[in-house]
Homo-oligomer: A and B are copies of this chain.
Amino acid sequence: MTAASNVHGTALVGATADILDRVRAHAPRVHCITNVAAQVLTANMLLAVGAVPSLTISPDEVASFVASADALLINLGTFDANRREAVEIALDEADEDRTPWVLDPVLCDRSEARVAFARVLAAREPEVVRANQAEIAALTDRDPTPAVCDRFALDNMTVLAVTGATDLVTDGAKRLMIASGHPLMARATAVGCAGTALIAACLAVEDDPFLATAAGLLALGVAGEVAATGARGPGTLVPRLIDAVYLLDRHTLGVHAKLDGPLDVVS
């Protein structure tokens, strides 16, 4: 896999740049029910990319915030009674308004209660699910091979992104691999959560959830590579990552994109 190694890759770079332009032009509102370690970085990533974040979990007003939002993010990293109630209200409102939403089942591999709730939410057909290897293994109760991931996407009518050193994006019919990024990103809290927020911002302006997911993850991976140049550790990486998202352009995406696919799933 080399930089923008194929014709598909080149097209994806252009599509990502185009989606980011639309985010900046339209400043979509993204409502986020997210965890306590991710709230600030999520808000800052959304502001950096050109979106408008909100974070309330108050049952009195979460429906009102979702009603005026262009996309919704549900992150289970803090799994308390207040957030669970807020999630139910938010999803009912999103269903009614056909607002696209993305599920991030953070650490569902560490708690039975959490994985059970994550499965219920996944069955409500989020446009996108973003998980790491351990989380998708817990969700599917299987070794998360690409075929298992495809099946999960088909069963839940969703796009699944499994992130790691190389990200896999699948809708069950086609798969994309994204290898952009840097190991330091895993050493700062909530960087993955912030990536899911970028997917949500892309979903707010792009009807194709596969493309929105690819764009969000490519943006994060490329920004991470840019930020890691000159960062001495994870502390200085984070502010540089936010800057890199803010400054992201077509040229930079092209230089750092490491893509394979999308290729049709052979079943």
Interface contact B54-A107, CB-CB below 8 Å: yes
Classify the secondary structure of A's interface with B: helix
B residues within 8 A CB of A111?
Answer: 56, 60-61, 64-65
Is A240 part of the contact surface with B, judged by Cβ < 8 Å? yes
Of the candidates B53, B60, B68, which one forms a contact with A189 in the assembled complex, judged by CB atoms under 8 Å apart? B53
| C-alpha gap A261/B58 in the complex (Å) | 41
CA distance in complex: A111, B111 (Å):
34
Minimum C-beta distance from A248 to chain B (A): 10
A80–B55 touching, CB < 8 Å: no
Interface size class of A (residues with CB under 8 A): 35 or more
B-binding segment of A34-42, A152-160, A251-259: A34-42
In the bound complex, CA of A251 to CA of B187 (Å): 23
CA distance A243 to B231 in the complex (A): 9
A215 in contact (CB, < 8 A): no
Q: B113 and A61: CB pair below 8 A?
A: yes
CB of A170 within 8 Å of the partner chain: no
Neighbour of A64 across the interface among B35, B54, B110, CB < 8 A: B110
Seen from chain A, the residues whose Cβ lies within 8 Å of a Cβ on chain B are 35-37, 39-41, 43-44, 47-48, 53-58, 60-61, 64-65, 68, 78-82, 107, 110-114, 186-190, 231-236, 238-247
What are 8 residue pairs bridging A and B, where the CB atoms are less than 8 Å apart in the complex?
A: A48-B235, A56-B79, A58-B80, A60-B79, A60-B111, A64-B110, A232-B246, A235-B241
